[in-house]
Structure formats: C-alpha cells, structure tokens
Amino acid sequence: MSGVVVPLGGAGARAKNSKPASIKPLMDLVQADMELVNRLILSKCGSDVELIPEVARHLIDSGRSRLPPMLTLASASMCGYTGSHHVTLAASVEFMHTATLLHDDVVDEATGGAENWPPACCGATRPAFWSATSCSARHSA
C-alpha cells in the first residue's frame, strides 16, 4: 500500500528551503489509472450531438488538475482495492464534477469561467446544454 502526503498551509507554514505543496506525487500515483479513466470518458461520449464529444475531449485536454477523479483512484488504492470498478467510479465523479462546472459557467451565464470551455459550450442554449449533461449523467451511471 502506498500513500501521498501533501502538506497543507500557507507559505509561512513551510520550513525554510522546503518545496511548496504539489499534487505531482498524487498525479504520479494515479497516472496509469487516469489513462484508463480518460479512455472510458471518451468511449462513453460518442454522440451525434456535437457538444458531447467536444466537452469530453476538453475534459481530458484542458490542463485542469482533475483532482476529484484522482482522489477517487487514490482512495481505492489506499484501501487496497484491486478490481477495476474504481476507474468507472472515477469517470462518473469526473462527469458529475464537469456537469456542475458547466452548470455554473454556462447555464448561469457566469462570466468568470466561460472562457475555459470550448466555444460550442459557451454558445449552447439551455436545452442543448441539458441534453448534453443528461447524456453525460446517463453514461456515468
């Protein structure tokens, strides 16, 4: 069993000459499983609705840390889980997390985050958006 300790606290909480907190150890720990999560996300997002595969591709290529699915995978590892359902669970967590972000940024017409989404999302009508998010939720079940 392996674990990752990420020290919390502001710059004043660090000892002199210590490195700032980083999620890189966590990313390294779950890298192989995150590749499986990415493949699963892409496989579940094939659709004639152009927005759905575009959002899926953006999810993977956006450069976000994707902490929720990584924590899901790390938790499974920490608990000694050896099956494959943790990958499905992590993909589901990412679908739901993304749906909440899209809701905040697109449906509520927020100005602070819309630039982080593909143009098709930002111009989506509410019915098109709800179709996309309900499809994502259906696939994550």
> For the segment 27-71, what is each residue's pLDDT rounded down to a tens digit?
999 999 999 999 998 888 888 877 778 877 877 787 777 899 999
The answer for 83, left when phi > 0, alpha when psi is -120 to 50, beta otherwise, is beta
Q: pTM here?
A: 0.66
Question: Judging by beta carbons within 10 Å of its beta carbon (0-12, 13-18, 19+), is residue 11 exposed, middle or buried?
Answer: exposed
Q: Where are the beta strands (DSSP E) in the chain?
A: none
> For the segment 83-117, what is each residue's pLDDT rounded down to a tens digit?
999 999 999 998 888 778 776 666 666 555 545 55
